[in-house]
Amino acid sequence: MTVARAPAKVIVTGEHFVVHGQPALAAAVNLYSTVAVESGSPGTVEISSSELGIDASFQTGAIDEKNLEGPERSILEPLMLVVERTLERAGSKGLGLRLQVKSQIPVGVGLGSSASTAVSTAAAVAHLLGLQLDKGMICELASVQEQYIHGKPSGIDATTTTYGGVVLFRIGQSPNHLQPAEEVRIIIGNTGTARSTGDLVSKVSHRVQLGDRDLVRISDSAGQLTLQAADAYKNKDFQQLGRLMDENHELLRQIGVSTPQLDRLVKAARDAGALGAKLTGAGGGGCMIALSRPADDKSISKAIDAAGGRSYIVAIDRLGVRID
């Protein structure tokens, strides 16, 4: 048996706009998906997860329809694609596998659950099959699920969860890996409201395609803001980074992807002493994040809970995907 795990991710600045060529700053955090894989019956792949609510099998190259009805299809099919792509890479299409998936990452709330699970799946299956893959190859294999789910993904989720750490990302360029800082904490606040990343990204993209001048202007502003945020992080100017996160949240409000719930959690975090706070991910529900000094993280966490969210105090994951 082989076991691999990969972290969740948060977008510090730049979500939505990254799809249109602007930079984004992201961080891997210590919530994990874990995939254990072992050999199974020839030609059959079994995938189960109590956390994700899936338990099904399929013949390699074909989906077993009777086991894939309802909402579990949207979770399971991307994993099937990752497994099949990895089997093809190994020249082992007829091999049988059993996968047990565990996850600490809430689904559909902007923390990269699908990317993390895909990355840990690709790494575990590849290792079991004896494939010697570097992280770039694992990221490539895992990215098939983002294409399936989001249509036109930026690639930032798979990149961040594969490599770990803090990443300045731009489509078409090599990611710039920044040294993680110990002087600040990230507190996640989950509204508990799931949403479709693909739908939200598509709506914003449609406005760009129609030539919405306000959106183009906001996108350019967000790109400049992210470059300033990366500099602030590198220089450990966390007061400035927090201010830029606040500004980024306002830009996301202007394009209509925040919600009253998210705004309420953001305000609660700021009032409790956060250096900055904003929604993270596609918006429309999901999660927000707050930047905090270590001395303030518990009070900010309590304020988020009191405002109706579920808080997580997280640390930066430095390693990305690994075999346990």
Virtual torsion, Cα 170, 254, 192, 196, nearest 10 deg: -60
Closest CA to 150 of 79, 107, 202: 202
Q: In whole angstroms, what is the distance from residue 118 CA to residue 290 CA? A: 27
Is residue 317 annotated as a catalytic residue, yes or no? no
With contact defined as beta carbons under 8 Å apart, do 318 and 164 qualify? yes
Q: In whole angstroms, what is the distance from residue 130 CA to residue 142 CA? A: 17
Q: 6's torsion region: left (phi>0), alpha (psi -120 to 50) or beta?
A: beta
- Is residue 174 exposed (0-12), middle (13-18) or buried (19+ Cβ within 10 Å)? exposed
Q: H or E element: which one contains 95?
A: none
Among the listed residues 64, 157, 231, 317, the single catalytic one is 157
The beta strands (E) that lie in 191-307 are given as: 276-280, 287-292
Residues forming the active site: 157
